[in-house]
Chains A and B, each alone.
Chain A
Amino acid sequence: AQSVTQPDIHITVSEGASLELRCNYSYGATPYLFWYVQSPGQGLQLLLKYFSGDTLVQGIKGFEAEFKRSQSSFNLRKPSVHWSDAAEYFCAVVPPTGGGNKLTFGTGTQLKVEL
């Protein structure tokens, strides 16, 4: 079945440590790929997106993500986490074809930052 998966429901890191959040997709072709962040009770903010081209994508707030076709992955990374990064992170895709052109979200990863 076509899907987007975030294997980690919760992740805890220490402030200043590096971060990697995983995202895998299952489609016949490469979908459009996005990472969004959501603070409690708030809307979602786009961190970065990948449509084509350079597989290392730079986003806002010091985040980057790397598209790996061979692994069907689009993992989000940050070299040094700040306490304000604690939030819910959603990977999202727009399927390449036959998906009704709909933005579909993964189940999310809750990031906790220890001071």
Chain B
Amino acid sequence: DTEVTQTPKHLVMGMTNKKSLKCEQHMGHRAMYWYKQKAKKPPELMFVYSYEKLSINESVPSRFSPECPNSSLLNLHLHALQPEDSALYLCASSQVINEKLFFGSGTQLSVL
């Protein structure tokens, strides 16, 4: 299994909603990542977990809250988002930090 699975694929939410994005991998990778990608732009790193501990937080607003319950799962909890947060949210994993990254197909988020 060489897949990173992200759910849901599409999400529409209001600015007062609370929602969560989920990412799962079963490759035994110990590093997991959240990236944000706006249309026609490169992905921008948000968070990195290494061995289930938050290793990098790229000064992301607190309305985005990551969680790594175990080595296979990575969540991104969303609360009080703004319309400018609409983007493709990509999860990735790697054997160790910044080795070859495997990306999921992303969650396309629209904030109304």
Contacts and interface: CB of A to CB of B under 8 A. Distances in A.
Interface string B80-112: 000000001010100001101111111010000
B interface residue count range (under 10 / 10 to 19 / 20 to 34 / 35 or more): 20 to 34
A15 to B, nearest CB: 24
Residue in A41, A49, A103 whose Cβ sees the most chain B Cβ within 10 Å:
A103
A43 B98 contact: no
B27 interface: no
B45 interface: yes
A interface residue count range (under 10 / 10 to 19 / 20 to 34 / 35 or more): 20 to 34
Interface string B8-45: 00000000000000000000000001000000111101
B110 to A, nearest CB: 13
Nearest to A99: B98
Interface of B: 4, 6, 33, 40-43, 45, 48, 56, 58, 88, 90, 92, 97-98, 100-106, 108
Interface of A: 32, 36, 41-46, 49, 90, 94, 100-108, 110
22 contacts: A32-B98, A36-B103, A41-B88, A41-B106, A43-B104, A44-B43, A44-B92, A44-B103, A45-B103, A94-B98, A100-B56, A101-B97, A102-B45, A102-B48, A102-B56, A103-B45, A105-B42, A106-B42, A107-B41, A107-B42, A108-B40, A108-B42
